[in-house]
Amino acid sequence: MRFEIITIFPGFFSGIFEHGIVRRAQMQGLVSVGVHDLRAHTHDRHRTVDDRPFGGGEGMVLKPEPLAEALNELRIEPKATRKGTPGVEQTRVILLSAQGRTLTQPLVRELARLERIVLLCGRYEGVDERINELYCDMELSIGDYVLSGGELAGAVVVDAVMRLVPGVLGNEASGEFESFGAADTEIAADQEGVPRSQHGSGGLLDYPHYTRPAEFAGLHVPDVLLQGDHQQIRRWRREQQLRKTLANRPDLLDKAVLNEEDKRLLAMIRAGNR
């Protein structure tokens, strides 16, 4: 998979993708990132990328011409003329914007199936809307707050999507076990007879994790995790997932994939009986 980032601050990305899984994925040739300086597509002495907004008001707006030129250099045509271009189905042009659709893990999973993602980082009051209209397949927000630029949001998208590209995570399953992981209902049960639907988090938050030492600052790791009974551990973890989701993100429970045991547990937690 290839990411292309268009920004007025290319230096922002130096170092940011040189750690951990993201670095390894690039070294293995599974993903690559191109950072493109928007100012390279200006043609005046001041390398101007912004201008005042029509209609008045605060701030500046990123001009359309440098963005269009940067996109053309990446062989991204306007949407209207893109049909039939080889690879077009596998490419998405994304405008990072507080006004966009919110990034969620299901959307991250969708994006991870593409071959190329082009990210436009806005600055100031944003990007001239005609760039969105002409070139962008999607406006994407990383949450309900306003950043000073799209660079951080772009880095978040690259990180979240890249780790789900096949082969990037050492253990392929870890993308399904973590918070917001999909429930794998296709496969009935694993070799221990545990329904696969309870392996994936099914849209719930992750359970708490512990490592050595078994006692720290007077706090003990829950006994169940030390006893090696995998069924009990699974049940305990599932209960913790339900508890955490209920406490921190009850909205997720509406869409979560819950089986009868989950529903019973949740009812008991809600009733304060556990």
* 202 is a contact residue toward ligand SAM (CB under 6 A): no
Instruction: Please count the other Cβ atoms lying within 10 Å of the Cβ belonging to residue 202.
Output: 23
The one segment of 146-154, 187-195, 215-223, 236-244 that binds ligand SAM by CB under 6 A: 146-154
* 153 is a contact residue toward ligand SAM (CB under 6 A): yes
* 132 is a contact residue toward ligand SAM (CB under 6 A): no
* 143 is a contact residue toward ligand SAM (CB under 6 A): yes
267 within 8 A of 260, measured Cβ to Cβ: no
199 within 8 A of 176, measured Cβ to Cβ: yes
Helix, coil or strand: residue 101: strand
* 122 is a contact residue toward ligand SAM (CB under 6 A): yes
Q: Tell how far CA 1 is from the center of its chain.
A: 15
- Subset of residues 227 to 256 that bind ligand SAM, contact rule: CB under 6 A: none
Q: How far apart are CA 35 and CA 272, in angstroms?
A: 52
* 149 is a contact residue toward ligand SAM (CB under 6 A): yes
- Subset of residues 84 to 113 that bind ligand SAM, contact rule: CB under 6 A: 96-99
Q: Which two tokens mark 198?
A: 């309870």
Give residues with Cβ within 8 angstroms of 44, minimum separation 6. none
The one segment of 10-18, 41-49, 135-143, 211-219 that binds ligand SAM by CB under 6 A: 135-143
* Residue among 31 and 140 whose Cβ is closer to ligand SAM: 140
Q: How far is the CB of 125 from ligand SAM (least distance, A)?
A: 4
* 7 is a contact residue toward ligand SAM (CB under 6 A): no
* 150 is a contact residue toward ligand SAM (CB under 6 A): yes
Provide the pairing of β-strand 2-7 with 91-102: unpaired
Lay out the site mask for ligand SAM across 60-89 (x = CB under 6 A, - = otherwise).
------------------------------
* Residue among 148 and 273 whose Cβ is closer to ligand SAM: 148
* 141 is a contact residue toward ligand SAM (CB under 6 A): yes
Q: Which of 236, 233, 243 is nearest to 269 (CA)?
A: 243
* Residue among 85 and 99 whose Cβ is closer to ligand SAM: 99
* 54 is a contact residue toward ligand SAM (CB under 6 A): no
Q: Which two tokens mark 101?
A: 């659709």
Q: How far is the CB of 204 from ligand SAM (least distance, A)?
A: 25
Provide the pairing of β-strand 138-141 with 215-216: unpaired
**HSE (CB half, 13 Å, CA atoms) of 94?**
31
233 within 8 A of 225, measured Cβ to Cβ: yes
Q: How far is the CB of 59 from ligand SAM (least distance, A)?
A: 7
* 142 is a contact residue toward ligand SAM (CB under 6 A): yes
Give residues with Cβ within 8 angstroms of 152, minimum separation 6. 142
> Which 8-state DSSP code applies to residue 65?
H
The contact set with ligand SAM (CB under 6 A) reads: 96-99, 121-123, 125-127, 141-143, 145-150, 153
